[in-house]
Amino acid sequence: MFGGPLTVEQVAAFIQDGFLVVRSLLDAEETQLVLTAACNDEDLRVNAMDVIDTQGRSTNLSLWNHPGDDIYGAICRSRRVVDSMEQLLGDEVYHYHSKLSAKQPKVGGAWEWHQDYGYWYQNGCLFPDLASVFIALDPANRENGCLQLLRGSHRMGRIEHGRFGSQTGADPERVEAAKKRLELVYCEMEPGDAVYFHGNTLHSSDANLSERQRWGLICCYNTKHNDPYKESHHPGYTKLEKMDDTAIKAMGARGSEVGKAFLEAKRDQTQGAAEE
């Protein structure tokens, strides 16, 4: 067992449900620092992909492989995040990639039902032993397209995925069957709240037709034992240097470091990396 900030009950809930909501993972000051940095980060805007849903609406997604010496890197390397992820996955983890998902008011697009391992499988990961943590930077609710999850769907195993708009989505027939048997959870969160979810957990979100933006920072991790057997557009195992939790506030609202490498939109949307 890996030690960390989560309780035995929380780890058991993740194993059973395929996700775990943690309230106030970031405090108010930390959340505001991230949001301020992201809103003023020209590199995020310039390198954002416009991911189109089946209705033609778009979500802005900026995606990078390496943590970086900025506030996003301080969060994804923080002990509270990484130690929790290692508890949940039962192994040392490394940073697979991170992304900033920005659903703008009125026009922010939907995300089709999918499993992250549905397309990470193509990157040479033999096992579905990966997970993500979505950290809300704004209030996330049904009105602005919060994350939806099917409780226990990770136990179905990986299902087939195809192309829907510019997204990768799960087999609709299988999703509809799962929705009849599994509980659909609307993951409503306040700024600073987070949800950890397994690589095989089916999840989606509706379009943002509200007057309020819905932004979120997503940090994705792979396990050391699941080091991919081939190269892809995401990295293989590299030891992750953890940072003390105090580094987040010490970093301040520092946006993307100089020379930060973002993934190319055309290549990554083709390979299915442009997902929430």
- Residues 215-268 have pLDDT tens digits of 999 999 999 999 999 999 999 999 999 999 999 999 999 999 988 999 975 444
Cβ contact 236:160 at 8 Å: no
Average pLDDT, the chain: 93
Domain count, the chain: 1
How far apart CA 163 and CA 161 sit, in angstroms, is: 7
Site of tokens 């009849």: 180
pLDDT at 54: 82
> Which residues have C-beta within 8 Å of that of residue 9, sequence separation ≥ 6?
none
Report yes or no on 179 lying in a domain.
Answer: yes
Report yes or no on 49 lying in a domain.
Answer: yes
Cβ contact 95:76 at 8 Å: yes
**What confidence tens digit (pLDDT) does each residue in 90-136 have?**
999 999 999 999 999 999 999 999 999 999 999 999 999 999 999 99
Report yes or no on 3 lying in a domain.
Answer: no
Which is it for the CA torsion 109, 114, 117, 121, positive or negative? negative
Output the pTM of the full model.
0.95
pLDDT at 71: 98
Nearest CA among 48, 44, 50 for reference residue 70? 44
**Domain of residue 239, residue span:** 8-271
Say which CATH number the domain at 225 has.
2.60.120.620
Residue 20 has pLDDT above 60, yes or no: yes
Report yes or no on 205 lying in a domain.
Answer: yes
Cβ contact 193:30 at 8 Å: no
In this prediction, residues 30-46 reach a mean pLDDT of 96
Nearest CA among 253, 232, 247 for reference residue 96? 232
Report yes or no on 33 lying in a domain.
Answer: yes
Report yes or no on 276 lying in a domain.
Answer: no
How far apart CA 61 and CA 263 sit, in angstroms, is: 10
pLDDT at 272: 47
Report yes or no on 1 lying in a domain.
Answer: no
Report yes or no on 45 lying in a domain.
Answer: yes
